[in-house]
A and B are shown apart, each in its own frame.
Chain A
Amino acid sequence: DSGVTQTPKHLITATGQRVTLRCSPRSGDLSVYWYQQSLDQGLQFLIQYYNGEERAKGNILERFSAQQFPDLHSELNLSSLELGDSALYFCASSALPGPPYEQYFGPGTRLTVT
Chain B
Amino acid sequence: AQSVTQLGSHVSVSEGALVLLRCNYSSSVPPYLFWYVQYPNQGLQLLLKYTSAATLVKGINGFEAEFKKSETSFHLTKPSAHMSDAAEYFCAVSDRSPTSGYALNFGKGTSLLVTP
Contacts and interface: CB of A to CB of B under 8 A. Distances in A.
Interface string B34-77: 00100000111110010100000000000000000000000000
Given A33-B101, A42-B108, A56-B99, A100 B43 contact: no
B43 A99 contact: no
Given A56-B99, A99-B94, A100-B51, A45 B104 contact: yes
B45 A56 contact: no
Given A90-B43, A99-B51, A102-B46, A50 B101 contact: yes
Candidate in A48, A58, A99 with the most chain B CB atoms within 10 angstroms: A99
Contact of B103 (A2, A42, A45, A107): A45
Instruction: Say which size band chain A's interface belongs to.
Output: 20 to 34
Interface residues of B, number: 23
Contacts of B101: 31, 33, 48, 50, 55-56, 97
16 contacts: A2-B45, A4-B43, A33-B103, A43-B104, A44-B106, A90-B43, A97-B101, A99-B94, A100-B49, A100-B51, A102-B49, A103-B104, A105-B43, A106-B43, A107-B43, A108-B43
Interface of B: 32, 36, 42-46, 49, 51, 90, 94, 98-109
Given A31-B101, A35-B104, A90-B44, 15 more contacts: A2-B43, A2-B45, A4-B43, A33-B101, A43-B90, A45-B104, A48-B101, A56-B99, A56-B101, A56-B103, A98-B32, A99-B49, A103-B46, A107-B42, A108-B43
